[in-house]
Structure 1
Amino acid sequence: MFQRLKIAIDIAHAIEYLHYGTDSTIVHSDLKPSNILLDHDLTAHVGDFGLAKIISSILPVHESSSSITIKGTIGYVAPEYSTSYMVSIQGDVYSYGILLLEMFTKKRPTDEAFSDRINLHNFVSNALPDHVMEIVDPFIQTEHGMNSNKIKDCLASVLSIAVACSRTVPRDRISMKDVVIELRKIRDVLYR
């Protein structure tokens, strides 16, 4: 739990920096597990910027050239990218949310258990908060035991953030700035 949360915070910091850390906004556009690199200290780094787009600070952050074809990885790419060629920071937030859901449930968004009616987002959303221990990676349960209310509450909070990131409507998603703030709060609770 602790190491996963640290990795989640590292990734959130990186995406927050891309979105807000420079004069131009950078949209990664292909955030997925295979684009997360871990160094020898298990510090996470975001890699593979082949699909990244730099959006001028003059334009609103949701706009880009309409001649660009949006590509990404099925299961991680934001749903609005299938109907629009506009890249956005909200698309990265969606992908981050799916990545976070996968990290803590050990279920891929393309898992054959999911169909048109249920997806990874809905699977987790339906379990929150009371049934969180039924859907998390079983290793987390054995690592910390089922009786830790603090762990259950923190897992429910992390997964709630992931659900807030992976909402279908882009404007309903939490910002990466808020993700970083909330994940830090959870980390602080865990280390008390």
Structure 2
Amino acid sequence: MLSNQVGKILRVSYHDLYHAIEGFLSTNLIGSGSFGYAYKGKLYQHGGRLVAIKVLDIQKSGASKSFEAKCRTLRNIRHKNLVPLLTSCSSIDPKGHDFKAVIYEFMQNGNLDKWLHPEIAEPTRSRNLNLLQRLNIAIDVASALDYLHNYYEAAIFHCDLKPSNVLLDNDLVAHVGDFGLARHLSSNVSQEGTTSSAITLKGTIGYAAPGKNFLMFYAII
């Protein structure tokens, strides 16, 4: 089993990812977000393993910082209902531009949004979720958030939890992904003897955490 430590076992280059996505063909595009695009790819140098590759748009404000925050946050997180980060790639493309990507385990059943709101043009196979499946997905998501809020070494707030950020594996087990919006901005010790960390909470309107403008959390030392 591959380690979740970024780049410790699974090492990839720009050229590896270029070939994995077949030259960034639009047919391999599986989604887009605030800071980039997600592709389905096959790592031929690693046994043809299917992966999800999120390529950051460096031109967008905060994309580079999002990359660092994402890798830092996911490096040591391990939970059955979180999307595993396999590795990352920070390189230069053939035009001399910065290239940054994060590589995740590929989830065969896509995101929850497509199951809840299927498009007419999609294949005719049933995407209906029965009541028990919906309940299990809700429990999976709640379990992931409970771990992030209460059991990780420092509380993490997702900030943009929505159906498109919940991915389903072959068994329809839900995995929460996309942590690029949870960023540590500062850390200092207050006069009361507590350590405080500030996190900006940006996200999709309607899905961001209630206190999204600014949040402080404290850990007694």
State the TM bucket, normalised to the shorter chain.
0.3 to 0.5
- Structure with greater contact order relative to length (CA < 8 Å, sep ≥ 6): 1
For normalisation by structure 1, the TM-score amounts to 0.37
| Richer in helix (by share) | 1
**Structure number with higher strand proportion:** 2
